Structure 1
Amino acid sequence: MDPTISSHNTESTPLNETGHPKCNPILSPSLLVFIIALVGLAGNTIVLWLLGFRMRRKAISVYVLNLALADSFFLCCHITDSLLRIIDFYGIYAHKLSKEILGNVAIIPYISDLSILSAISTERCLSVLWPIWYHCHRPTNTSAIICALIWVLSFLIGILDWFFSGFLGETHLHLWKNVDFIISAFLVLLFMLLFGSSLALLVRILCGSRRKPLARLYVTISLTVMVYLICGLPLGLYLFLLYWFGIHLHYPFCYIYQVTVVLSCVNSSANPIIYFLVGSFRQRRKHRSLKTVLKRALEETPEEDEYTDSHFQKTTEMSESRC
């Protein structure tokens, strides 16, 4: 997988060396990416504001906060890139180096996004399969430490790839291929970890001997992972196939690349919508604040237990008021 391949390579002359037509720049994907990324950036900004300043931080909220940060970072890169392409399409000056920088920077939030999702799914799987061991042996600041390590590792991977690819200096082709092989193996490992832990979590919850009402948190995680597998993974798979099988960004493959970019922006924009839908599902009051909706989407207690606790609390308050 080589996310450092800049998308400006798609903008070339009508014919390539073999005589086949090359891809011409198209305005529609850039406009679509710009609109989707703006909407997604607004949603992720609201999530960052609520989790960072309005809600008490728990283990899962730290992961969700960093996931929203990675999605916002990724969307900012694509907003700027699509804006430069729109300007370039109308003949206004836009330097291609800016697009190359954005294409190389986007590798950092892409790796962070997959890593954080894998950490969330793995930790939830451990909490369901071995709950006693998990609650007794899990350190208090595990989520913050893991997220910090993920960001440091993502930046190191990005810097190494930039250095050996010649983006920051002289090109080291042999070492660059080795670095890309390590990055590809790392991302494949993360994908296998994400898929395996998510599958084990669903099987344990839905087919376990002691079936309990499904908590909203597990619905949120399942939908987030599903959207990533459908929309976020194609970009990585395409770049992986591009590198290992020699598929170039010429006609007609560059149009597939543009589709995967649009899907990746949909993936980064979908998480706030998932939180809102899961948090507002079956709500008994019509008007709820965004803080309450987000809090409900990240609750680990089943819905029936939530209803029982709230009903018991209301009954207690009524009896106390009568006394």
Structure 2
Amino acid sequence: MDYLLDYDPNVDYNFTSDQELFPPGEQTPVFKHEPTCSREALCVSLAIINGGIFLLGFCGNALVIWISGFKMKKTVNTTWYLSLAISDFVFCAFLPFSIAPAVMEEWVFGHFMCKAISFMMFLNMFSSIFLLVIISVDRCVSVMFPVWAQNQRTVRKASVLVVLAWLLAFAVSIPSVLFREVQHSLSRDICINAYTSHQHSHTIIAVTRFLTGFVVPFIIIVICYSIIIVKLRSNRMTKSCKPFKVMTALIAAFFICWLPYHVFILMEAKSSWHGHDILPIGLKVTSSLAAANSFLNPVLYVFMGNDFKRRFKNSVLSKIENAMGEEGRTTSRYLSRSSSMDARASTHI
């Protein structure tokens, strides 16, 4: 995570004089950094949690990629979920490069990886939220204009939208590369954000990320789902919101995981919060919570697909297929029923 690569300048790290470790007369540094993570309960706990997130996220998303990419028929819905799984899989693959330096309290992977890890974190965040926005708009259009959607909603167009979402996510993630630097401090290298080009660059970037990666997408998604609920209830074409439960769970998980992180990043940008003990602790905890979103998605695919009793009777592969295919089948039935109703209405006119 972004903060796991940083080291708070306000934290008092333990250092040992090298004069005690080397014989007299040898040229040695003045101080030698002594990691304290193994003696801190919070650091050890977060390292274990992030290790679990890596294992679950890497394996879970790999399974979703295999099922949706190679075992299922290619549809608009599988295109959406495959793209989300790829985003989370790549992020989880890079996560160990954040866990190790957080435990060692030293960056050992070089300048390129310092920039690359931060870039991958924000690429995952922005690509996920942009894809969720596209899916929400797609659901809304399918409900509002069922006949048009049935004719125009194709896998090729969905793939084009996915590529555009990734390109936009790539563009807005570039600042994480520009401001990420490796600096040498007190006998060890650290990977930090160096906001030195402009007086307010830190605040500008934090606010921009909050607006583009949270506020604006949240407003669009809420509007889309409000329209969907009103339309479905007014037409009385469904007695529940079951077709949208997987998507709703994915969106809820994303915002629950990422909102606390954005709050603390905005607090960090305000100089008045520096020196408070809650800031470094909050950044560490919320960074791990944000990372958890990458393994929650495949879990939701499995446990939101079928009724509880049938989950234990089907294989894991069947669960995932049913979870991702259920929305497509229900949406198709809704589109077909809407088309027939429109046709009957036109004959009366």
Give TM-score scaled by structure 1 length.
0.75
1:115 aligned partner: 130
1:73 aligned partner: 90
Question: Over residues 90-137 of structure 1, what are the superposed CA-to-partner deviations in whole Å (9 max), with x where a residue is unaligned?
Answer: xx8846855564234311111111111111112112212222232234
TM-fit CA distance, 1:54: 1.2
Give runs of aligned pairs for residues 64-143 of structure 1, distance below 5 A.
64-86=81-103, 88=104, 94=108, 98=113, 101-138=116-153, 140-143=155-158
Percentage identity across paired residues of the two chains:
20
Change (3 A) 1:290 1:257: same
Q: List gaps (5 residues or longer) in structure 1.
A: 16-23, 306-323
AA of the residue aligned to 1:232: W
TM-fit CA distance, 1:139: 5.0
2:287 aligned partner: 261
Matches of 1:261 and 1:141, distance apart in 2 = 35
Question: Over residues 43-77 of structure 1, what are the superposed CA-to-partner deviations in whole Å (9 max), with x where a residue is unaligned?
Answer: 11100011111111100110100101111122223
Do the aligned partners of 1:223 and 1:274 also contact (CA within 8 Å) in 2?
yes
Do the aligned partners of 1:10 and 1:249 also contact (CA within 8 Å) in 2?
no
For these two proteins, the number of residue pairs brought into alignment is 290
Correspondence for 1:191 among 184, 193, 218: 218
Question: Over residues 269-301 of structure 1, what are the superposed CA-to-partner deviations in whole Å (9 max), with x where a residue is unaligned?
Answer: 111111111224256595423332222112134
The structure carrying a bigger strand percent of its residues is: 2
Correspondence for 1:276 among 267, 282, 302: 302
Q: Once structures 1 and 2 are overlaid, which stretch shifts more, 270-279 or 56-65?
A: 270-279
1:312 aligned partner: none
Matches of 1:285 and 1:120, distance apart in 2 = 26
Do the aligned partners of 1:8 and 1:96 also contact (CA within 8 Å) in 2?
no
AA of the residue aligned to 1:172: S
Q: Once structures 1 and 2 are overlaid, which stretch shifts more, 234-243 or 217-226?
A: 234-243
AA of the residue aligned to 2:247: I
Do the aligned partners of 2:3 and 2:283 also contact (CA within 8 Å) in 1?
no
2:198 aligned partner: 173
Q: Once structures 1 and 2 are overlaid, which stretch shifts more, 98-107 or 252-261?
A: 98-107
List 4+ stretches of structure 1 deviating above 6 A: 3-6
AA of the residue aligned to 1:9: Y
Give the secondary structure class of the aligned counterpart of 2:173: helix
1:10 aligned partner: 8
TM-fit CA distance, 1:208: 3.2
Q: Once structures 1 and 2 are overlaid, which stretch shifts more, 194-203 or 118-127?
A: 194-203
Matches of 1:171 and 1:52, distance apart in 2 = 44
Matches of 1:5 and 1:148, distance apart in 2 = 28
Do the aligned partners of 2:130 and 2:165 also contact (CA within 8 Å) in 1?
yes
Matches of 1:245 and 1:203, distance apart in 2 = 44
Give TM-score scaled by structure 2 length.
0.70
Do the aligned partners of 2:210 and 2:262 also contact (CA within 8 Å) in 1?
no
Do the aligned partners of 1:161 and 1:180 also contact (CA within 8 Å) in 2?
no
Larger radius of gyration: 2
AA of the residue aligned to 1:42: C
Give the secondary structure class of the aligned counterpart of 1:10: coil
Correspondence for 1:40 among 47, 57, 74: 57
TM-fit CA distance, 1:224: 1.2
Give the secondary structure class of the aligned counterpart of 1:195: helix
Matched, 1:230 2:256: yes
Change (3 A) 1:216 1:54: farther
